[in-house]
Amino acid sequence: MTELLQKIDNIEQILRKIEKRKNLFIHSLHDSRLELNVPIPISVEYDNYQFVAYAPDSDIYGSGDTEYEAIDDLRQSIVELYFDLKNEKLGKDLQKILDYLESVINKR
């Protein structure tokens, strides 16, 4: 019985965490040098300390005191990573991230 109650408690914790997460799309990087071809899927959640925005397709995070700050930080991180990767010789994993970013981002 105790084991069953622990499993139920674990499931309830997982559900509470999922309820806190919002799945959204960003349509702009808010950078005059770049535009998006397609929206980038992200998730935003509150971790009891701050808001965290995450772009799973590029494995990039942003954080802030509000949802907006977390999303804006994520946008800045995407822009910085894009330009950093463009100027480097990359291994396989980072090249995959750059390939993804180049497939969704156009330089103006």
The answer to whether residue 13 sits within a structural domain is: no
57-96 confidence digits (pLDDT tens): 999 999 999 999 999 999 999 999 999 999 888 899 999 9
Domain tally, the chain: 1
Quick one: CA dihedral 105, 106, 107, 108, positive or negative? negative
2-40 confidence digits (pLDDT tens): 787 787 777 777 666 655 688 999 999 999 999 999 999
pTM of the model: 0.80
The answer to whether residue 53 sits within a structural domain is: yes
Cα–Cα distance for residue pair 71/39, rounded to 1 Å:
13
Question: Which domain range does residue 29 map to?
Answer: 23-107
The answer to whether residue 96 sits within a structural domain is: yes
Supply the pLDDT for residue 105.
96
